[in-house]
Structure 1
Amino acid sequence: MQKNALKNIIYSIVLLLLVFLVYLYRKDQPITSDNPDSDVFKMVVSGQTMGTSYRIVYLDPSGRDFKQQIDSLLEVFNQSLSTYIPDSEISRFNKGDSLVYESKFFFPILAKSKEVYTNTDGAFDPTVGPLVNVWGFGPGGASLEDSVSIPDLLRQVGLEKVEFDSVQVRKNTPGIYLDFSAIAKGYGVDVVGRFLESKEIEHFLVEIGGELMAKGSNENGELWRVGISKPDEEGAANELFGIIALNAKGLATSGNYRNFYIVDGKKYSHTISPFTGYPVVHGLLGATVVADDCMTADAYATAMMVMGTEKSIALQKEVEGLEIFLIFSDENGMIKSYVSEGLKPYLSYAEQNKPSLDQ
C-alpha cells in the first residue's frame, strides 16, 4: 500500500502539468515593448509551495524581482491553510473544536467554500477530508482497511456542520475535518495576483500547481495563452488537447486520469464523492473552469468532477460568471469535449481534436 501511496504522490506531481504554460520561458530576459521608445522587462519567478511548484511571469519597466516577497507571502499562506503543517491554523482547528482566526486567509476561503457548497448542492465540500484521508489522498497516505466504515465517516461530512463568522469557526459535530486542498492553490494564485497588482504590475500570469490567473497581455501584446493537456493516463503531459486565451480571468483544471492508484487491479481516483464516500466513477475526465478569480474556478472544477458531465453543463448555465471546457468519455469510450458559449472565442483545439469532437 505504501508503494501505491508513493505512486499517488508521483501522479499528483504530474497532474500539475495538466495545464502547462505556453508562453513561459526558462530564463529572465529583457524584452522591448511595441513602443520603440520604452523598455519593459519580462520577469520570471519560480519556486515551491503547497507541495507543488509555482511559476510567475510579469512585465515590469523597472525589472523588479519579487521572489523573496512572494515566497514570504506563500509561507504565511501555507501556515494558515496547509493540513500538511502540524501547527497550521487549519491543523489546529482539525484537532480541536473551534478557532479564532489568526491570519487574513481563513475566513475568505471558508466563505467561498460555503458559497460553492450551496450552489453545487454539496458536491464541493471541504469537510470531505476524513474520506480523502482514508482513501489515501491525504497527508498520511493510504489507510483504507476492512474495518473502516464509510457510512460512519459520512456522518462527519457536511459543511453545514461547521459554523463560522468573520472572527472564528466552530464545529457542530465532533470529528469534523477541514481540507482546503481543492481550493487553496486557486486562492494562492489570487493572493499572489493581488500582491502584483499592489506593486502596479499590470501584465502577469501566475501559476501554482496548474491553477492560473492572467491579467493584461504577454510581451507580444497578446492575451496570455495556456494549453490543456490530452486526457491520457500514459500520455505526455505536454500533448495538447486545446489552448485557451485568458482575458483577466482565473483558470483551474481538475481531472482523475493522472491522479489515482491501483490496488488488486482496481483503480481509485482522487475525487471522493461527499455523497457516497467512494471515489467517483463517471465519464468526465477533466473539467476546466474559467472565472473572475482562480479560487472560484478551482472550487467549481473540483465540484464538477464529482457531478459528472451533464450536471456540470447544467451548473454552468445556472451560475453567473462561469465558463467551462469539459473533456469526457462517451458511452462508446470515445473522447469528446464540451465548451460553453462564452469560452468559444478564446479556445482553439489541437488539430487532431477539433470540429468532430466538439459537442
Structure 2
Amino acid sequence: MKTNLLIFLSLLLLGSCTMQPQYIETNGQLHTPYRILYQYTEPLDDEIHAELKRYYHSLNPFDSLSIISQVNRNKEVEVDTLFAEVFRKAREVSSRTDGMYDITCAPLINLWGFGFSKMDSVTPQMIDSIRSFVGYQKVRLEGRHIIKDDPRLLLNCSSMGDGCSCEVIARLLESKGIRNYMIDIGGEFATKGVNAKGQCWHLGIAKPVDDPMGVNQETEVIVQLCGRLGLATSGDYRNFYIKDGKKYAHTINPLTGYPAAQPVGSVTVIAPDCMYADAYATAFMAMGRDEARRIKEQLPDIEYMFIYMDEDGNYQTDCSAGFDRYLLK
C-alpha cells in the first residue's frame, strides 16, 4: 500500500512539473524583422535562429560564402536540399507564368540599380546585351550541381526568400509536433491551426499608399487563415520610381528587361506553400490583372487579390473567385 502511494505521489509530482503547451512569441531581425507565434512547451529561439542561418548559408546572394554566391562565381559546389527545392519551385513558377517569374534576372536588376538609381543611364542596347544571357531555360539542375548555358548568368532567389524562410521555420515547428503557429517574416506569412483565442489567424493587408519609409499601417482588408497556408504580398508602394509622371514598380519584367509599369498597387497571393505565394505574387505584380486572371485558371490551389487605384483616385480590389472565403466579414 505504501509503495502504491509513493508511485501515485511521484506521478502527481511529475505531472505538475510538466509544462503545458502555451503560446510563445519569438521575435528577431536578420535582413528583415520576423515574428513567430507557436503553441509549445518551451521557447525555440535558438533552433529558429539556426534554421534561418541555414537558409542564409544556402540562398543569401550577399554572403560571399553562401552556396548561391559560389554558384554565381561558377565555383564547383554541390547545392543542398533547400537550394534544390527552391530552384525547382522557381523553375516551375517560371514555366507556369510564361517566364514572367525568373530568378536569373539579377543582372537586369543590377543594371537598373537599387531603387532604379541608374534609370537615366540605362539604354536599350545595354538591356539587349544582358537579356542574351538571362532566362530560366538557360540554367538547370543536374544531380546536386547547377549547370549554366552562359557563365555570366546569375541566380537570385530573393523574390521568394521570405516565403522560403517561412517554410523553413514552419517545417521546424511541425517536426516538434506543433499544430498551431503563425510565422511572419518580412510581411510574408505561414500559418497553421488557430490562435490563442481558438480562432483562425487574422492578418491585415495594408492599403498600398506610397510609403517609402514603411511607416503606413493603414489596413485595406483583413483575411482569416484557418489551415496550413502561406500568404505573400508584392507591391509598388514602398519601392518605386517616378519618371515623366509614370510610376515604375521595383519589379523587373524579365521578358522586356524594363521595370514593370502595371497600374497595380499591390497583389496578395494565398497558397498552400509560402514559397509559391511569394513567387506568384511577384509574377502577378509584373504581369498585371488580366494576365494573372488567365494564369490563375490553371492554378486551382492559389487565390489572389489586387489592390489598385481607379481613375478617380479611389482604391479598388480585384480578387479571384475563391479569395472571398478568406475575407473576414
Taking structure 1 as the reference length, what is the TM-score of the superposition?
0.80
1: CA distance between counterparts of 2:233 and 2:60? 20
2: CA distance between counterparts of 1:297 and 1:147? 31
1: CA distance between counterparts of 2:311 and 2:243? 25
**Where does the alignment leave 5 or more consecutive residues of structure 1 unmatched?**
1-37, 350-359
Question: What amino acid sits opposite 1:76 in the alignment?
Answer: R
Question: What amino acid sits opposite 1:113 in the alignment?
Answer: A
2: CA distance between counterparts of 1:145 and 1:156? 23
Whether the 8 Å contact between 1:98 and 1:170 is mirrored in structure 2 is no
1:5-49 superposed Cα distances (whole Å, 9 cap, x missing partner)? xxxxxxxxxxxxxxxxxxxxxxxxxxxxxxxxx954210001123
Structure label with greater radius of gyration:
2
The alignment-based identity, stated in percent, is 38
**Larger deviation, residues 104-113 vs 264-273:** 264-273
Partner of 1:94: 72
Question: Which residue of 61, 79, 99 corresponds with 1:83?
Answer: 61
Whether the 8 Å contact between 1:205 and 1:224 is mirrored in structure 2 is yes
TM-aligned CA distance change 1:87 to 1:143, over 3 Å = farther
1: CA distance between counterparts of 2:143 and 2:159? 22
2: CA distance between counterparts of 1:227 and 1:237? 12
**Larger deviation, residues 146-155 vs 302-311:** 146-155
Partner of 1:168: 145
CA RMSD after TM alignment: 2.2
Deviation at 1:145, TM superposition (A): 6.5
Whether the 8 Å contact between 2:180 and 2:194 is mirrored in structure 1 is yes
Partner of 2:274: 294
Residue correspondence of structure 1 range 167-316 to structure 2 within 5 A: 167-234=144-211, 237-247=216-226, 248-261=228-241, 267-316=247-296
Question: What amino acid sits opposite 2:22 in the alignment?
Answer: F
Question: What amino acid sits opposite 1:47 in the alignment?
Answer: G
TM-aligned CA distance change 1:147 to 1:97, over 3 Å = farther
Bigger RCO (CA 8 Å, 6+ sep): 1
Whether the 8 Å contact between 2:111 and 2:122 is mirrored in structure 1 is no
Whether the 8 Å contact between 1:283 and 1:309 is mirrored in structure 2 is no
**Where does the alignment leave 5 or more consecutive residues of structure 2 unmatched?**
1-18
Larger proportion of helix: 2
Secondary structure, aligned partner of 1:122: coil
Taking structure 2 as the reference length, what is the TM-score of the superposition?
0.87
Question: What amino acid sits opposite 1:246 in the alignment?
Answer: L
Secondary structure, aligned partner of 1:272: coil
Residue correspondences, number: 306
TM-aligned CA distance change 1:342 to 1:208, over 3 Å = same
